[in-house]
Structure 1
Amino acid sequence: MNIGIIPMRYAKALFAFAQDKGMEETVYAEMNQLARSFAEHASLKTILDNPVLKSKEKQALICTAAGTQVSDIFVRFIEMVLHHKREKHLQSIALMYQDLYRKARQITIGSLVTATPLSADEENRMRKMLMMDKEGTLEFKATVDPEILGGFIFGIDTYRLDASVATQLKRVKNQFMDKNRKSL
């Protein structure tokens, strides 16, 4: 069976249930935190795959990973996932729930990585520029990474533009190396 089918079914079911209860935003925040926890702590997935760990202990761990105070909907959903032994799909479920929520709310994801911090005015101009031809809202994250040396790395939804000095230097180096290999 396709590994993406199971998480998508669970994410759709959770999203539909949360919408019925008017709690989709709360569950979205919990799923965001859970996805961040999986990304930050690789051992979380390994621990959840441990068959010796009891369901109640797994549930407590997942709820802690999702935030300090989780909703009843989230707790009930985790109980169902654990009952059906689908905890290995939990990270994918969280990510797919995020996608479903963002699509329903017309939320665009944007990111900008620069070598030096942006001023608030520059960041606001970037936000406005990104949303000129789009409807909905923008989740925008600006980060600083001195290792790119200069320029920027820009991303919106699935599109990525790397105009960093570090990447340009790598390209020049690779072109130089390729040209020299051919001449030997």
Structure 2
Amino acid sequence: MPNPRLAGRYAKSLVDLATEKGQLEVVYKDMQYLQAVCKSSREFVNLLRSPIIKADKKTAIIEAVTKGNVSELTNAFFKLLVNKGREYDLPEIADTFIDQYYALNNISKVKLTTAVAISDEVKNAIAAKVKADQGLQNVDLETVVDESLIGGFTLEFNNRLLDASVLRDLNDIKKQFSVNLFESRLK
């Protein structure tokens, strides 16, 4: 069961320690790597959350997966989590760490969903437009391709959704046809 309060506390502690040691950027890259591993490998997440696998085996597997890809500070943090029995929350701690890093550096997450892949030039133009229109300092633009949109795009940022997709237009038209305003006047 996810525990956002616990994840926030561990992430905050790691942010503070990394800042104190002057390794915030390094640990941020490590957490991005861990987040990518967790997203791409359901087996790894299941291993972390398994009550059957012993702590020493989990530590060995985490070290094998992250060897050469994370710093000593991050590796020590992983060992601490396993020793405390908190490895279950490691994926959520990584996500929360990245969110706190973004808040610390005034970076806003922006998610752009399109029906087809777009060029880097268009991505940069959209990021610049969002920064200018919304007064944001830094933007982390994530792009996703979803063919069900048919055309157009959706843009998510700061708990807002801008939906300029063909699918939305078609759904709006469908709603208009489902409520026939003229039927009652014909009788």
After superposition, the C-alpha distances for 1:47-89 in whole angstroms (9 at most, x for unaligned) are 2222332323312433455575211011110111111101111
Q: Distance in 2 between matches of 1:66 and 1:179?
A: 60
RMSD of Structure 2 on Structure 1 (CA): 2.7
Question: What is residue 22 of structure 1 aligned with on the other side?
Answer: 22
Q: Distance in 1 between matches of 2:29 and 2:71?
A: 10
Question: What is residue 58 of structure 1 aligned with on the other side?
Answer: 58
Q: Provide the secondary structure at the position in 1 that maps to 2:139.
A: strand
**Tell me, which stretches of 5 or more residues in structure 2 are unaligned?**
none
After superposition, the C-alpha distances for 1:106-160 in whole angstroms (9 at most, x for unaligned) are 1111121222333443322212111114353221123333321111011123322
Provide closer, same or farther for how the CA distance between residues 8 and 119 of structure 1 changes in structure 2, counting only shifts above 3 A: closer
Q: Distance in 1 between matches of 2:35 and 2:144?
A: 19
Q: Distance in 1 between matches of 2:136 and 2:67?
A: 30
Q: Provide the secondary structure at the position in 1 that maps to 2:53.
A: coil
Question: Amino acid of the residue matched to residue 152 of structure 1?
Answer: F
Provide closer, same or farther for how the CA distance between residues 128 and 179 of structure 1 changes in structure 2, counting only shifts above 3 A: same
Question: What is residue 161 of structure 1 aligned with on the other side?
Answer: 162
Question: Amino acid of the residue matched to residue 9 of structure 1?
Answer: R
> Structure 1 stretches (4+) deviating beyond 6 angstroms?
none
* Superposition TM-score, scaled by structure 1 size: 0.83
After superposition, the C-alpha distances for 1:22-69 in whole angstroms (9 at most, x for unaligned) are 111111112122223323333333222223323233124334555752
* Superposition TM-score, scaled by structure 2 size: 0.82
Provide closer, same or farther for how the CA distance between residues 21 and 44 of structure 1 changes in structure 2, counting only shifts above 3 A: same
Moved more, 117-126 or 90-99: 117-126
Q: When the two structures are aligned, how many residues end up with a matched partner?
A: 181
Q: Provide the secondary structure at the position in 1 that maps to 2:69.
A: coil
**Structure 2 residue 34 is matched with structure 1 residue 44:** no
Provide closer, same or farther for how the CA distance between residues 61 and 168 of structure 1 changes in structure 2, counting only shifts above 3 A: farther
Higher CA-based Rg:
2
Identity over the aligned pairs, expressed in percent? 28
Question: Amino acid of the residue matched to residue 55 of structure 2?
Answer: S
After superposition, the C-alpha distances for 1:5-34 in whole angstroms (9 at most, x for unaligned) are 211111111110011111111111121222
Provide closer, same or farther for how the CA distance between residues 37 and 165 of structure 1 changes in structure 2, counting only shifts above 3 A: same
